[in-house]
A and B are shown apart, each in its own frame.
Chain A
Amino acid sequence: MGLDDLLNLFVAAILLAGIYTAMSIGMTVIYGVMKMVNLAHAGFMMLGAYFALEMSQRLPIDPLITSVLAAPVFFLLGIATHRGMVRFVPVADEPTLPSLLLLFGLWLVLQNFGYAVWGADDRSIFTPLTMATFRFGGIVVPVIRLIVFGIALLSLVALHLSLQHTWFGRSVRALTQNREAGQLAGIDTGRTAMLAFGLGIAFTGLAGALLANLYSFTPDFGGSFMLRSFVITVLGGLESFSGVAIGAVIVALIETFSILVVPANYQHAISFILLVVVLLVLPGGIEGLLQRWRRLR
């Protein structure tokens, strides 16, 4: 194995980390503001994937461009979900089992709705871009992965700007840090929670649509990506927006480089084992680990 191969793997991991960040940030936003673990994440990702598919069949535009439309559509879907059910679950400072089971029920509904509408067949989106690559020295980069990376990065920049420079963003950050203090300062928690849920689902749907351009999918799609999102958000410290990017890079690196040591049959188990290990060993994420180190010195 030469240096070029390692570089190739490294580039692949970084490109993967981009979409993983966009995929997990929705979970972080929802957890931060509402302290809910979104178990319906997988269902919305799956809907996003089929949204991209339907769009690619109906519109003569490149599916990568129509994938972006998923963001506003799923924003509205998220708001409707919040209005219709999520807001009735009491909010606490810690995730509660009723909210977990409610969102799990929603995942079941979405998944089986997917089966009822689109059937169980493997679907994929194939365009001239799918197989295109370009070379950069010894490094081969698939064009489509680079574009997906770019879209994910742009969406994250937009999120960052809105969190830093709008009242909604300030409310989100305030509630994430301290719910009660935010309420005392006069934040409309209901409205902020609704918009945050919409935003979280918007990113989830967008990520699903983008991933549909890279992988084939069925209505089961999203389950393993949801668990990766858990790992990433826990690594990132659950409610830190910059932590998500770090978590995504770590997970992407581990997954990409694991093909060197882990047999192909067990590849799929990596994200699940990683989930358990990270929850057990690093419940405070990277940040918590660093703090522990500092205290020890």
Chain B
Amino acid sequence: MSAAPASRATSRTAYAVAALALLAFLAVPWVGISNNAIRLLLTTFLWVTTSLAWNLLGGVTGQVSFGFAVFYGLGAYTAGLSINGGITPYAAIPAGGAVAAFGSLLIGLPTFRLRGPYFAIATIGVNEAVRIVMSNLDITGGASGVRLLQAGRFSQAEHYYAALGVASLAFLVSWRVMHSPFGLALRAIREDQDAAADVGVHPFRLKLAVHALAACLTGVAGGVFAHYTAYIHPDGVFSFSTSTSILLMPVIGGLGTLSGPVIGAAVYSIVQEEMVVHFPQFHLLLYGALLILIMLFEPGGLAGLWRRLARRLRGGGP
């Protein structure tokens, strides 16, 4: 996977592209596009956030988790219940991230003793156990969910900016991590955990740290989602299918890169928007098939496919 530090010229173009994209997205609510399009963008930003977060653990560090709905749900419920308790969303949503990060430590402490696929399987169990507990607790309103009170309600533009802010934060954090010694150590763990430990990387501690970072971002996204939809229930935010979606986007977009998870999330949101209304089942059927094809033919995902096509077109090597 290409993850070498970019040369100065390409990073300057990358900055320019990122700045332009940010400006364009900032302007969106002012140019009079439909509410529906804004909603689609907002959802995309939330998925971009969870994809980038999942990618830090699953792509960069190579620890596949089927349990990110736990953090999305913890963030959503913390924010939702705090807002209902009269706390301003500006405090409630970050609190969601903090609770999710704390939850990730509780989950990571035991499960990171397991390696690769066993960790992955354990997270399936964790996810389902947490969902069942959350469906039965009194504080979460049980299976019937929580309706958020209207006090402190955002306008749609405010929700939009919240989601954009969270996605930008996730992008910035991912960029910083991937271009830091920390990110290098995480990559070393992915390639060979034992060899990494031999050269002084502490796999267990670093996995816990990146897990908490990813959980925090996912929790904040969950908080923004809860505030936006104003109604959350355990079979939505804590469901295994939420975990599945969070996993599918970065894997299909391209693991271990910055652009991959963003592409994956954008494609996922748009395809979902088009398909869910008419063929709700075919959406995941399509994504399952895509996952199979990517595992068989292009482990670099859509981003890898794009790089390969670009190289072909330029007439370079294979």
Contact = CB atoms under 8 A, between A and B. Distances in A.
Interface residues of B, number: 40
Contacts of B1: none
B110 interface: yes
25 contacts: A94-B117, A100-B117, A101-B251, A101-B291, A102-B292, A104-B291, A105-B287, A105-B290, A108-B285, A109-B292, A116-B285, A224-B128, A227-B125, A265-B132, A266-B132, A269-B133, A272-B125, A272-B132, A273-B125, A274-B125, A275-B122, A276-B110, A279-B125, A280-B113, A283-B114
B56 interface: no
A91 to B, nearest CB: 14
Interface in B86-131: 110-111, 113-114, 116-118, 120-122, 124-126, 128-129
Contact of A272 (B118, B129, B136, B290): B129
Contact of A89 (B124, B288, B290, B296): B296
Contacts of A105: 287-292, 295
A85 B117 contact: no
Given A101-B251, A116-B282, A272 B126 contact: yes
Secondary structure call for the B interface = helix
A47 B288 CA distance: 16
Nearest to B115: A94
B292 to A, nearest CB: 4
B171 interface: no
B240 interface: yes
Interface string A91-107: 00011111011101111
A111 B125 contact: no
Contact of A94 (B116, B281, B285, B299): B116
Contact of B128 (A102, A109, A113, A272): A272
Interface of A: 37, 85, 88-89, 94-98, 100-102, 104-113, 115-116, 223-224, 227, 230, 265-266, 268-269, 271-276, 279-280, 283
B298 to A, nearest CB: 12
A95 B288 contact: no
B296 A88 contact: yes
A137 to B, nearest CB: 37
Secondary structure dominating the interface of A: helix
Most buried by B among A95, A224, A269: A269
Interface string B124-152: 11101100110110000000000000000
A27 to B, nearest CB: 11
B244 interface: yes
Contacts of A275: 121-122, 124-125
A112 B64 contact: no
Contacts of A115: 280-281
A109 B288 contact: yes
Contacts of B125: 227, 271-276, 279
Contacts of A273: 125, 129
Contact of A269 (B120, B128, B299): B128
A227 B133 CA distance: 17
B267 interface: no
Contacts of A110: 288
Contacts of A37: 117, 121
A89 B291 CA distance: 13
A271 B124 CA distance: 11
B281 A102 contact: no
B120 A279 contact: no
Contacts of A224: 128
B158 to A, nearest CB: 35
B121 A111 contact: no
Interface string B238-255: 001000100000010000
Given A97-B117, A110-B288, A280-B122, 20 more contacts: A95-B116, A100-B117, A101-B64, A101-B251, A101-B291, A102-B296, A105-B287, A105-B289, A105-B295, A109-B285, A112-B281, A112-B284, A266-B133, A268-B128, A268-B132, A272-B124, A272-B126, A272-B129, A279-B111, A280-B113
